[in-house]
Structure 1
Amino acid sequence: MTTPRDLMIIAMDAAPEHTVEQGNLSLALAGAEVIDLLTAQAVRLEGEDIVPGYRPTLGDRLLEEAASSLVREAPYESLDDWLWRRGRGLSSAYLAALEGEGQLTRQRRRWMPFRTSQTLIDSPDHRQAEDRWTSDEPVLATLAASLGIRDKRTGDPPSVADDAVTTVLAAVHDALTELEAERQRRAIEEAAFDNVWRGE
């Protein structure tokens, strides 16, 4: 299992109590991929730039895809640019991967999270993600908290010791803040347009 897959599972488990916007989840998944690539020494950070390292076998198709999409020559891609580029539609890719692996089952309900009629089955992968979640593992807990998922816990998630991972988590937080600001700006513009249209 990988951090993004664990995060996807936790986000699905949390719905509908903590329904996560797909754009938010995609940004967090892209950040989780960088964290796993850092752990595998497939990348390192130089300031805010993602610098590719050697190419280990990662054992996960989407993580391999992430590694293959790295900019391998200077000027390297910034962490912020990676989150927005790689994050585009990434939650749908992880949902499709879980579906393709038979990790989902159909439910007869009128409304389901992620606009799908499927939910997670009880599987070793699901239990592993839950174990990581219930143990309050710092990286997963911080990523989930950035998406508004904290279960019944109070206070901040445990601190992360690795400086590079902390940099990635901060970049995810900043990107989510930027996305929310953009949503608010668009809502204000749409409201103003509606008022003009109605002659108010």
Structure 2
Amino acid sequence: MTTATDLMIVTMDVRSARPAEPGDLSLALAGAEAIDLIGAEVLTLRGDHLLPGLQPALGDGLLDEAASSLVRQEPYESIEDWLWRRGRGLSRAYLAALEKDGGITTRRRGWNPLRTTEPALVDSPARSHAADRWHAGDPVLAALAAAVGITDQPAADSLDAVSDPVVTVLAAVNDAVMELEAVRQRQAVENAAFDNVWRGE
């Protein structure tokens, strides 16, 4: 199982005050992929740029896709650029992969048959793996979950045993999520101002 798949499952399985925004989740999933590619020695970091290495088969379709999409010409790609490019629509891709693998089903919301359906996790090895990792307090998974707002930020010292490249990726994920939230807030203000103009306020 990959960190991105575990993160996707955790965001669906853990009770939270608010669900993860799809855009935030997509950025975090791209970060999770980068972290797993670092762990598999498919890429390394030079400063904040991703240096691709060998491209072995990783046994996961989406992670193999991520590896094959790495920029292989200098000056290579920054972590920030990777998150925005690779992250585009990535939460939908992981949701579709879980459904294809039988990890989720769809159920109707409420009693009204006209209401839309929502995805629901089923008991599966993937769900058990993610739950075990979550309850064990995996610091990387906890930091990614905190970035998308489904839990509080872990203690600073929880990442002491995590490698510097992984910490760099986690910091980039947090920065990207905050940037996206700032964009959403600006759009909300602009939309409110536009509505006020039409109402003559």
| Same structural fold, with TM-score higher than 0.5 when normalized by the shorter chain | yes
**Counterpart in 2 of 1:28?**
28
Residues in 2 aligned to 1:116 and 1:85: alpha-carbon distance in whole angstroms: 29
Residues in 1 aligned to 2:127 and 2:14: alpha-carbon distance in whole angstroms: 13
Q: Which runs of 5+ in 2 are unaligned?
A: none
**Counterpart in 1 of 2:3?**
3
**Counterpart in 2 of 1:142?**
143
2:25 counterpart SS class:
helix
Q: Which runs of 5+ in 1 are unaligned?
A: none
The alpha-carbon distance between structure 1 residues 180 and 101, as it changes in their structure 2 partners (threshold 3 A), is: same
Residues in 2 aligned to 1:131 and 1:155: alpha-carbon distance in whole angstroms: 17
The answer to whether structure 1 residue 71 and structure 2 residue 76 are counterparts is no
- 1:9-88 aligned within 5 A: 9-14=9-14, 17-88=17-88
Q: Which amino acid aligns with 1:177?
A: M
**Counterpart in 2 of 1:90?**
90
1:107 counterpart SS class:
strand
Residues in 1 aligned to 2:154 and 2:43: alpha-carbon distance in whole angstroms: 32
**Counterpart in 1 of 2:155?**
156
Q: Deviations over 1:18-58 (max 9, x none)?
A: 31100000000000000000000000010111110111221
Residues in 2 aligned to 1:59 and 1:163: alpha-carbon distance in whole angstroms: 26
Q: Which amino acid aligns with 1:197?
A: W
The list of structure 1 runs, each at least 4 consecutive aligned residues, that deviate by more than 3 angstroms after superposition, is: 15-18
Deviation of 1:196 after TM superposition, in Å, equals 1.2
Residues in 1 aligned to 2:98 and 2:117: alpha-carbon distance in whole angstroms: 12
Deviation of 1:155 after TM superposition, in Å, equals 5.5
**Counterpart in 1 of 2:127?**
126
Q: Which amino acid aligns with 2:95?
A: L
CA contact 2:49–2:79 (8 Å) conserved in 1: yes
- Report percent identity of matched pairs: 59
2:71 counterpart SS class:
coil
**Counterpart in 2 of 1:196?**
197
Normalising to structure 2: TM-score of the pair?
0.91
Q: Which amino acid aligns with 2:64?
A: E
Q: Which amino acid aligns with 1:60?
A: D
Q: Which amino acid aligns with 1:196?
A: V
Structural RMSD (CA) = 1.8
Residues in 1 aligned to 2:182 and 2:167: alpha-carbon distance in whole angstroms: 23
The answer to whether structure 1 residue 174 and structure 2 residue 175 are counterparts is yes
